[in-house]
């Protein structure tokens, strides 16, 4: 986004979602029953919590490929995306199932299932936003501590059986910038604030954060605001959803403005950061380091230079894979199923056109 590009102005204008995570309300009329098609394989981890579905909700079918959609139950009125779906599967399912009243994604991200048929209709889409944010907040703190306590040096000295005392830093008093002040970004900000860090955030309307106890200062979503955040922050965490507008939002221009010693963290989506530009900044010292849970291509290719950089901590997209990881998304589905049958307001209704 804030790259040297003709698209910069348009992208900046699109940042309404930085204010806070969007709130959408949707109430359906009460339903006597639900016929559920699960997009995913049977007996996936966490599926045991499906036993908590009300008796009037019946799971009628599991599908996991485009070919299997050909025989989908066309009387289904609920689709539950249990595993990573593709736009092609969702497109075909919606073309064949004309009675669908609600779709739920077990995951927080929805970019993997968006297709024109889904975006353009009025079927509500809900997700598991919030289920994994707390663990990502902890990873953010961990990433800061990893570099502040010089963990790589400690690990190397252990490997070398070498005893040498040295001075370490403290994250207390350091400043972290949060790009993407939604549910994940807010958990990152709160976790770091509790450790004594100062918190800066990007927001379209900074005045709305005047009474936010977590934020010490807030920048507007302009090129100058983004560059100022990088110039003043010791750590910057990217907690963005992936949409066409957030692709490569963080890139070379921001790294050129980075405060000496700045460390970048990514707990949102890999393609939101221009990975090639980040690698160059890590190699030439514009960035001190990176703690990354997500990448442009996953699994991270063996030929990626990131593997060989000593100033990069790599997590294989596992920062939110906790003991309750698989169950949490199902629990959101069960809760919303009760709301669906009662005709009450859903939680976590997504803005399909915005992509999150």
Vertex 38: Cα angle to 37 and 40 (nearest 5): 145
Single out the catalytic residue among 298, 305, 342, 345. 298
Q: To which H or E segment does residue 283 belong?
A: helix 275-284
Q: 298 catalytic, yes or no?
A: yes
The secondary structure of 336-348 as a DSSP string is HHHHHHHT-BPSS
Q: CA-based Rg of the chain, rounded to a whole angstrom?
A: 22
Q: Which of 112, 217, 317, 339 is catalytic?
A: 317
Query: Taking a C-beta distance cutoff of 8 angstroms, is the pair 37, 320 a contact?
Result: no
Active site residue 120: no
Largest CA distance in the chain: 70
Choose the catalytic residue: 3, 248, 257, 269.
269
Residue 75 structure tokens: 């009387």
Instruction: Please confirm, yes or no, whether 339 is among the known catalytic residues.
Output: no
Find out whether the peptide bond into 103 is cis, omega within 30 degrees of 0: no
Pairing of strands 102-105, 125-126: parallel
**Phi-psi region for residue 335, left (φ > 0), alpha (ψ -120 to 50) or beta?**
alpha
Query: Count H helices, E strands: the chain?
Result: 11, 12
* DSSP state, residue 188: H
CB neighbour list of residue 43: distance below 8 Å, 6 or more residues apart? none
The rounded distance, in Å, linking the Cα atoms of 68 and 60 is: 14
| Rounded Cα gap, residues 45 and 50, in angstroms | 11
Catalytic center residues = 269, 298, 317
């Amino acid at each position: 986004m804030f790259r040297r590009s003709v698209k910069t102005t348009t992208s900046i204008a699109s940042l309404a979602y930085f204010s806070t995570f969007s709130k959408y309300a949707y109430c359906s009329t009460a339903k006597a029953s639900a016929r559920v098609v699960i997009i995913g394989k049977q007996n996936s981890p966490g599926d045991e919590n499906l036993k908590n579905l009300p008796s009037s909700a019946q799971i009628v079918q599991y599908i996991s490929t485009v070919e299997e959609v050909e025989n989908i139950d066309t009387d289904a009125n609920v689709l539950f995306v249990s595993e990573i779906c593709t736009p092609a599967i969702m497109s075909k399912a919606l073309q064949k199932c004309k009675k669908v009243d609600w779709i739920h994604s077990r995951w927080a991200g929805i970019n993997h299932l968006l297709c024109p048929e889904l975006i353009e209709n009025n079927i509500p889409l809900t997700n598991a936003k919030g289920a994994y944010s707390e663990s990502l907040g902890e990873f953010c703190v961990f990433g800061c501590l990893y570099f502040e306590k010089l963990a790589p040096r400690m690990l190397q000295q252990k490997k070398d059986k070498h005893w040498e005392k040295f001075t370490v830093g403290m994250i207390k008093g350091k400043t972290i910038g949060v790009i993407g002040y939604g549910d994940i970004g807010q958990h990152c900000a709160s976790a770091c604030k509790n450790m004594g860090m100062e918190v800066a955030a990007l927001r379209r309307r900074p005045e709305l954060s005047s009474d936010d106890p977590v934020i010490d200062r807030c920048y507007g979503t302009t090129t100058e605001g983004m560059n100022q955040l990088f110039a003043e922050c010791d750590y910057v965490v990217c907690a963005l959803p992936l949409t066409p507008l957030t692709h490569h939002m963080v890139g070379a221009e921001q790294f050129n403005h980075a405060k000496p010693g700045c460390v970048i963290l990514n707990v949102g989506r890999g393609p939101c950061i221009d990975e090639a530009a980040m690698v160059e900044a890590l190699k030439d010292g514009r960035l001190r380091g990176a703690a990354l849970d997500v990448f442009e291509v996953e699994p991270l290719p063996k030929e990626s230079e990131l593997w060989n950089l000593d100033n990069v901590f790599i997590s294989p997209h596992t920062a939110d894979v906790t003991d309750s990881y698989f169950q949490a998304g199902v629990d959101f589905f069960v809760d919303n199923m009760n709301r669906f049958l009662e005709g009450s307001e859903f939680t976590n209704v997504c803005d399909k056109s915005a992509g999150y």
